[in-house]
Amino acid sequence: MTETQPRRGRPRGVESQHVMVRMPVDLITQIDAYAASLQEQIAISDVNISRGMAIRELVKRGLQSVQAGPSTLPRAQAPTPQALLPPSHLGTVEEPKPMAAPPMAASQAPAVPGPEAAARSQRGRPGILRQPIMDCLQEHPEGLTAMQLKVYLGTNRNIGDTLSGMVRAKLLDKQGTGQAVRYTVRG
Query: Is the model more confident about 87 or about 169?
Result: 169
Rounded to the nearest angstrom, the gap between the alpha carbon of residue 171 and the centroid of all alpha carbons in its chain is: 27
User: Could you tell me the pTM of the whole model?
Assistant: 0.36
- Residue 139: how many other CB atoms lie within 10 Å: 10
Question: Of the given ranges (22-31, 85-94, 131-140), which has the lowest mean pLDDT?
Answer: 85-94
Domains of the chain from N-terminus onward: 25-74 (no CATH), 127-185 (1.10.10.10)
